[in-house]
A and B are shown apart, each in its own frame.
Chain A
Amino acid sequence: MGGSTGLTRNWDFMRQVGAKARQQLIRAAATRLEIPEGRCKTRTGYVVCDAIGAEIPYQDLVAEAAALPAIEEDVPLKDLADHRIVGKAQTGVGAKDIVTGRAKYGIDTKRDGMRYAAIARSPILNGTVKSFDASEAKKIDGVLDVFEIKGPKPNEPYQILASGVAVVATSTWKAFKGRQALKIKWEPGPNAEDSSDKFWAENKSLLSTKGQVVVDDGAFDEAMGEAKTHITHTYEVPFANHAPLEPQNCYAHVQEDRCHIIVPTQSPSGASRSANAVTGIPRENIHVEMTRVGGGFGRRLSTDYVAEACMVSKHTGWPIQLQWSREDDVKNDFYRPAGTHEMHAGLDGNNKITAWSQRLASASKHYRRPNVLDENLWKPELYSDDFPRRIIENLRLEYHHNAIGVPRGSWRAPAHTANAFVIQSFLDEIAHETGQDFLSLSLELYGEERELEYGNHGGPTFNPGRLARLLKFVAQEIDYKTPRKEGRGVGLATHFTFGGYGAHAIEVTVDDGSLSIERIVAAIDCGFAVHPSAVDAQLQGGTVDGLSTALGLEITVKEGRIQQSNFHDYPLARIAEFPSRFETHILPYDDIPTGVGEMGIPSAAPALTNAIFAATGKRIRRLPILEQLRVGG
């Protein structure tokens, strides 16, 4: 599942399933008691008929209920207020297995006859194997087979990410050791000169020319011409690695006419498609089993590791557990796209924003996706109906694609992480430069509650008044209006993400280049919270993810090679970076639940950088943050 849709897509459907099952149990009880259905009702695990004092536990009725014909027509649903589980505090499913070490993840898979595999992948983007010498690797006791894995051609869709050499052994460690002993000569290929420096320079030069105009509301040029004040700033958002804590892995057993896959993935259908593409076995003969997943964040929407495991199993005929190392995972990813955003605003004599544009040069997420036309590469980068569309009348969005050879994909809340940072930062800059207060300016722009058309994922509508409510709430909680002393400051931000609404207020101190987050207030409006503890957990986790990534994480490229490799140079934040004053709030809205997995991230980073500005006067226009505080002071 992706896009925070797990609950929303199934909510009405699952409620009907539950209601029909309950009705079926009532029917079975009424039949047994020979009374009309209408005289029976349910009460925590029992069908009861108070009039005759009957009480039958569900478990006694299951067989009879299952034997009845299924109810076709929709049945009335329980009132939300009457639910005993939905909307109430529950402990996570499987929590006890987790704390006792019994929960089974993909990496824990064991099957009879299983061998372990590791792959040495090209360290150069789109590089290939020129030649390899496996003689030392084969001397290692337990190494069973070594062979080449062919990657996709440059610019072809990715079945797998890279060419390489596979090592199959009797244990994970032996496969890793065998891989280390390989001597491989790589053919550099077309991307061997790619670098981050070149990427940012190319973006700058792309932005000096006119791009593809993808939204052009009102009369932008005229409005800019008439504006009394013009404000322009440029922001940069880097590539980021998903880094789920369980490195990619997959069990595959490819046989003559069938294939068995056991895999931690967000996409079982993708797993089946990958296995089919590699083996040619019809999908009805491909059996995919899902395990618990040690983190996804969008990485496990791709199923390249499934294709790899199938290639190795097909080649050897053995059941294979393919295991990636952390280094494999950092260096081979569908990274969050990087981009340069040039923002323009025009304001009239009353400091009202009358024109707005976002000009973006980025590495589109849809690069090398099958069946994507070049003219549509902008779509996953600029969500065309995001704020301030339909609020600022004269609005233009413009796009340039940078075709750097870094693979990219969906990273939790995809383009919202970049766009919320850019838009909420720019709004804060406009406020400061025109002597306005960020909160007042924001509230004026969002305005009253009303439904605006929203055609992107998370629509069909967007209610900016719900953002206003959240922003006011977090501002009040953190006592935004009270001035702080020198070196201390509060920042605010809010964003609409895939149907749900989030906001953050963050208070920081910056002392001689050293940043401390003193307090975090986060709020979510997900309509109706079905599982409040999980909603709260997602808000906490999303906030941590947004801040951790903004603080210190960046993937860079040099000579066609990803430069980071493990947690020493891709330093995910630890507990010490987050304050004990970490407050999360769920603001109920209506009875329609939205997703919750991604709403906690986008507004976290700009709330932090707005706070840093409030504390120091230093504007952070490029992520990640920490290096700039250290260097620039």
Chain B
Amino acid sequence: NGKPVSLSVEGDTPLLWVLRDELNLTGSKFGCGIGRCGACTVHIDGQAQRSCMTPVSTIENRNVVTIEGLAENDELHAVQKAWLELDVPQCGYCQAGQIMSVVDLLKRVPNPSDKDIDELHNNICRCGTYPRIRKAIHRAAELQGGKS
């Protein structure tokens, strides 16, 4: 999140557990541990990655952004705003990962069609907020003015 961090942990420790247990950044969630659900999604050098599958040894000197670092100062990101506007969360556990994935998706495809969303967005939401997620992705694209 823009601050250099140096700590000593074993290299095979997944980034997720370093964030959560060592750095107390608990916004990224543990859901499956095998990269399937996406609740742990963070940005590494700007790209969405499953942090539960990323050994911390592979990210030395790289820039990691978590959900806690997404808003700039107090200004929420367009995706967060869209999420609030459409009242997306239910239990909310997966939503940090959903949001981090969608921020990256909109960088790659600023104006996604429903088909693009089907192909590119595959995070699991166990509560079934998918209808609102779909709407919120379109709304976030609109808030960003179709720019990545």
Given A98, A100, A247, A578, which contacts B76 in the complex, CB threshold below 8 Å?
Answer: A100
Contacts from B to A (Cβ < 8 Å): 10, 13-14, 17, 20-22, 24-34, 36-37, 39, 66-68, 70-71, 76, 80, 83-84, 87-96, 99, 114, 117-119, 121-134
By Cβ-Cβ distance, the 8 closest A-B pairs, closest first, are A101-B27, A544-B128, A294-B93, A101-B67, A98-B92, A576-B118, A541-B128, A108-B26
Nearest residue, chain B, Cβ from A576: B118
Answer whether residue A548 sits at the interface, using C-beta atoms and an 8 A cutoff. yes
Answer whether residue A172 sits at the interface, using C-beta atoms and an 8 A cutoff. yes
The answer to whether B87 and A92 touch across the interface, beta carbons within 8 angstroms, is yes
**Segment of A353-361, A395-403, A442-450, A565-573 in the binding face:** A565-573
Interface hub of A100, A326, A567, A574 (most chain B Cβ within 10 A): A100
Interface residues of A in 516-542 (CB under 8 A from B): 533, 537-538, 540-542
CA A359 to CA B144, docked complex, whole Å? 58
The answer to whether A173 and B14 touch across the interface, beta carbons within 8 angstroms, is yes
Smallest Cβ distance from B114 to chain A, in angstroms? Answer: 5
Answer whether residue A107 sits at the interface, using C-beta atoms and an 8 A cutoff. yes
Smallest Cβ distance from A293 to chain B, in angstroms? Answer: 6
Interface hub of B14, B28, B90 (most chain A Cβ within 10 A): B90
Answer whether residue A545 sits at the interface, using C-beta atoms and an 8 A cutoff. yes
Excluding A95-B83, A103-B92, A326-B31, 14 further A-B contacts by CB distance (< 8 Å) are A105-B93, A107-B30, A141-B10, A171-B13, A172-B20, A244-B126, A247-B30, A294-B29, A537-B90, A538-B90, A541-B129, A567-B36, A575-B117, A580-B114
> Can you report 5 residue pairs joining A to B where beta carbons are below 8 Å apart?
A98-B92, A99-B84, A172-B21, A245-B39, A294-B93
Contacts of A226 in B (CB 8 A): none
The answer to whether B128 and A542 touch across the interface, beta carbons within 8 angstroms, is yes
The answer to whether B131 and A545 touch across the interface, beta carbons within 8 angstroms, is no
Nearest residue, chain B, Cβ from A583: B131
CA A519 to CA B121, docked complex, whole Å? 20
Contacts of A572 in B (CB 8 A): 124, 126
Interface residues of A in 562-608 (CB under 8 A from B): 566-568, 572, 574-576, 578, 580, 582, 584
Smallest Cβ distance from A128 to chain B, in angstroms? Answer: 27
The answer to whether B122 and A575 touch across the interface, beta carbons within 8 angstroms, is yes
Contacts of A91 in B (CB 8 A): 84, 87
Given A100, A244, A327, A575, which contacts B27 in the complex, CB threshold below 8 Å?
Answer: A100
Nearest residue, chain A, Cβ from B25: A101
The answer to whether B127 and A295 touch across the interface, beta carbons within 8 angstroms, is yes
Given A99, A544, A545, which contacts B80 in the complex, CB threshold below 8 Å?
Answer: A99
CA A389 to CA B3, docked complex, whole Å? 66
Answer whether residue A104 sits at the interface, using C-beta atoms and an 8 A cutoff. yes
Answer whether residue A94 sits at the interface, using C-beta atoms and an 8 A cutoff. yes
**Contact residues of B: prevailing secondary structure:** loop
Smallest Cβ distance from B23 to chain A, in angstroms? Answer: 12
Contacts of A92 in B (CB 8 A): 87, 89-90
Tell me whether A541 and B122 are in contact in the complex, defined as CB-CB below 8 angstroms, given that A107-B26, A575-B133 are known contacts.
Answer: no
Answer whether residue A325 sits at the interface, using C-beta atoms and an 8 A cutoff. yes
CA A293 to CA B90, docked complex, whole Å? 10
Interface residues of A in 484-510 (CB under 8 A from B): none
Smallest Cβ distance from B48 to chain A, in angstroms? Answer: 15
The answer to whether B129 and A540 touch across the interface, beta carbons within 8 angstroms, is yes
Answer whether residue A246 sits at the interface, using C-beta atoms and an 8 A cutoff. yes
The answer to whether B119 and A566 touch across the interface, beta carbons within 8 angstroms, is no
The answer to whether B29 and A99 touch across the interface, beta carbons within 8 angstroms, is no
Smallest Cβ distance from A141 to chain B, in angstroms? Answer: 8
Contacts of B30 in A (CB 8 A): 107, 172, 247, 323
CA A582 to CA B135, docked complex, whole Å? 11
The answer to whether A101 and B96 touch across the interface, beta carbons within 8 angstroms, is yes
Answer whether residue A153 sits at the interface, using C-beta atoms and an 8 A cutoff. no
The answer to whether B87 and A171 touch across the interface, beta carbons within 8 angstroms, is no
CA A110 to CA B24, docked complex, whole Å? 9
Tell me whether A102 and B27 are in contact in the complex, defined as CB-CB below 8 angstroms, given that A245-B39, A245-B93, A245-B124 are known contacts.
Answer: yes
CA A323 to CA B16, docked complex, whole Å? 14
Interface hub of B10, B17, B91, B134 (most chain A Cβ within 10 A): B91
Smallest Cβ distance from B99 to chain A, in angstroms? Answer: 6
Given B10, B26, B89, which contacts A104 in the complex, CB threshold below 8 Å?
Answer: B26
